[in-house]
Amino acid sequence: MREMLVGGIILMSAVSGWAQLDVAALNEAYKAYDLERNEGIGHSDKPDSGSLGWGEGSIIHDYAMLWEVTGDTHWLEQIRDHFRRIMANASDPDGDGYLSWQTETYSTAVAWAERLHNVSDAAIEPAFQKNTRSGEFQQCTGHTYLIEFHESADAFRVVGWDTREVIADGIAYEHGMAVTQIVPFRFTITGATHQGDRFMVRTVAPEPIEFTVHQGMFVYAVALFIEAVKTSPELQDEFGADADEFLVFINRHVFEKNERDWLDMGELGGAYRFEPKVTDRFPNRIMPHNQFGALARAWLVLAEVEGAHPLMGERAEQMTRYFRSFLVLDEEHDAWRWRYWDWVEFGEPGGSGWEDTSHGHIDVSLAIEAARRGVVFTDEDMMRMANTWLAVMWNGDEQAPLMAARVAESEDFKHSPVSRDWAALSQWDRRAYELALTAYLAADSPASSAPTMLLCAKRAGTV
C-alpha cells in the first residue's frame, strides 16, 4: 500500500491503483466541513421549503449516509437536531389543521380578462393567463383592474378598481394593440370600440405553495433515522423518544396531509398530485417522477416500522410501480431511459423530455431503496439502471470521466461521476465506484463529497 494526500486527506492506495478510503479521516474531515456551514446547522433554520428541500435536503442526507458507513452516532444527533429546527418552522397559514412548509419561489401570477356588457363587440384576450417568469410574476398585485374607454372610443385608461387609482390615462387605441399596463400581464384588444366600453381584469398574486418534493428531500433522511433507532435497542435510550415524536409528526403532517392529493392510476400504480391552487403551475396534475419519488423513498423506509401509518407500504409500492411502468428499454445498451414527467390529462397521455441528471438522482435513489427492500425493482432492473449511467451517460474516458446531462444522451458531458445516488449504483456495477474514485481523487475538496464517496465505496464492497 502507498499513501496519497488529496486535499489534506490521506487515502490508502492499493497496488491496483484503486484507493481504499480512510473512513475515519474522511468522517472527521466532514465534521469540520459541516461546522463551517452556518455553524453546523446548514439550512435547517430556514422557513422557506425550497431552501429546506434543495439546500438542507442534501446536508441531512449526507448525515444519513455517514451514519450507514461509520456508525458514528454524531450523525444521528445531527439529523435529530436539524429536524427539530425544521419542525419548529412548520406552520399552518391556510388553517387546514396540518403543519407544513411553504415557498413562493415556484408560484405564479394569474389573470382573467373579460369584456363587460359593452355597446361594441370588441374583444379582449387571452381570457386566462399565467405568468411564471421569475422576476416578473412577483410584481402581480392580486388586484382587479378596469380597462375603460372613459371619454371616447379612441383612447382608454387603466384603473386599479380596488383603490380607484388611475394607473394610466389617455392611451391611444388601435385595433389589435397590446395592453401592458397591468403588470406583469399582456392583453390584446381587437375590434371597433365605443365610448363607455369596459374590460375587467382580475388578478391573483403569487401565494405560498407547499411542495411534496421539498418535504421528501429531508423527510427521507429522518425516516432512515427513525428506522435505525427503532430497529436498534442500543439506540433507544438516547434517541428513542425523538424517533417516536418524529414518526407521529410525519404520520400526521406529511403522510396524512399528502393523502388528500393522492391519485390512483390503477395497474400503473399511483402518485401524488399538485395542490388545486390556481397559482400552482400545474394544479391537480400528477407530479414528475422525482417529486413524488423523493417522498416515496421515505415511505419505503418506514413501511415496516412499528407505529408508521398503515398505508405507507401500499403508497410506496404504488409510487415505485408508477415510476417503473414508464421506464423504456434501450435495447442497444440494455439500459433504461425515462422522461422527467409522464401524465394523463383530459383523457390523453403526455410526457416531457428525457430526465436530466440532476433530478434523475432522486429517481435513481427511489429505485435503489426499492430494490434493496425487494419492492418492484429487481437486480436485473438495477443492472440496467447502472448501464444507463455507465454505457449511455459516461463519456468513456477513464482518466477524466464525465457524465451526460440527460439519461438518454451520450453528449453534453458536464456532470461528475461523484453524483450522489447515481454513484450508489456501485452496488450493481463496481465501475460506478471506480469512475467516482478517479474524479474524487482529482477534486480540490474531497471533504464535501465524502458522504457520497464513502457510501459509494461501501455499496461497492470496498469499505
Between vectors from CA 291 to CA 296 and to CA 432, what angle results, nearest 5°?
A: 75
Crossing angle (nearest 10°) for helices 289-302 and 312-325: 140
Phi and psi torsions of 333, nearest 5°: -110, 0
Closest CA to 180 of 227, 242, 129: 129
CA dist list (Å): 154 to 52, 151, 303: 53, 8, 68
Q: How far apart are CA 345 and CA 373, in angstroms?
A: 32
Positions of E strands within 173-260 = 177-179, 187-190, 198-204
- CB neighbours (10 Å) of residue 91? 12
Cell 474514485 sits on residue = 437
pLDDT at 17: 46
pLDDT at 4: 52
Q: Could you tell me the pTM of the whole model? A: 0.93
Mean pLDDT by 10 residues, the chain (463 residues): 48 53 95 96 97 98 98 98 98 95 95 98 98 96 98 98 97 97 98 98 96 98 98 98 98 98 98 96 98 98 98 98 98 98 96 97 98 98 98 97 93 93 98 96 88 96 83
pLDDT at 1: 41
**From the centroid of its chain, how far is CA 349?**
23
Q: What domains are defined for the chain? A: 21-103+210-460 (1.50.10.20), 109-204 (no CATH)
pLDDT at 137: 97
Closest CA to 46 of 88, 106, 109: 88
CA torsion, ordered 119, 120, 122, 123, to nearest 10 deg: 30
Q: How far apart are CA 107 and CA 281, in angstroms?
A: 7
pLDDT at 12: 55
Q: How far apart are CA 419 and CA 427, in angstroms?
A: 15
- CB neighbours (10 Å) of residue 114? 13
pLDDT at 462: 82
Between vectors from CA 181 to CA 177 and to CA 186, what angle results, nearest 5°?
A: 55
* Bridge partner list, 131: 109
Could you give the 3-state DSSP secondary structure of residue 364?
A: helix
